[in-house]
Amino acid sequence: NAGVTQTPKFRVLKTGQSMTLLCAQDMNHEYMYWYRQDPGMGLRLIHYSVGEGTTAKGEVPDGYNVSRLKKQNFLLGLESAAPSQTSVYFCASGPASPLHFGNGTRLTVT
């Protein structure tokens, strides 16, 4: 039972490049979330999904897109990366509660 798995663990992008972060959960959870964490701050919600085929905006959605084509996967896309998107990205899944987090993806945009 792997729980919540994030791929990749680290990535360096140049400004303007695109990439997709993958989150996979094997707990059959309905809810999935993408957060970002900047230094010295708490986690801020980017996008979330309450079920397969659904997505919704969180607190800081600009510059990101998401898809939930399969219940177990939640993808976060950056179409044109900017230095302001340098951050640690966390995925989480859950029933109503509690949330289970992955170990994070450290993204640097130069």
Partners of 62 in beta bridges = none
Q: Does the protein bind another protein through residue 22 (CB under 8 A)? A: no
Q: What angle do CA 7, 13, 100 make, to 5 degrees?
A: 30
Residue placing its CB nearer to another protein in the complex, 20 or 103: 103
CB of 50 to another protein, least distance (A): 6
Residue 96 sits in the site that holds another protein (CB under 8 A): yes
Q: According to CB under 8 A, which one of 11, 58, 72, 73 is a site residue for another protein?
A: 58
Using the contact rule CB under 8 A, the part of the chain among 16-24, 64-72, 78-86, 93-101 near another protein is 93-101
What DSSP designation does 44 have?
E
User: By CB under 8 A, is residue 99 in contact with another protein?
Assistant: yes
Question: Residues 6 or more apart from 63 whose CB is under 8 A from it?
Answer: 78, 79, 80, 82, 84, 85
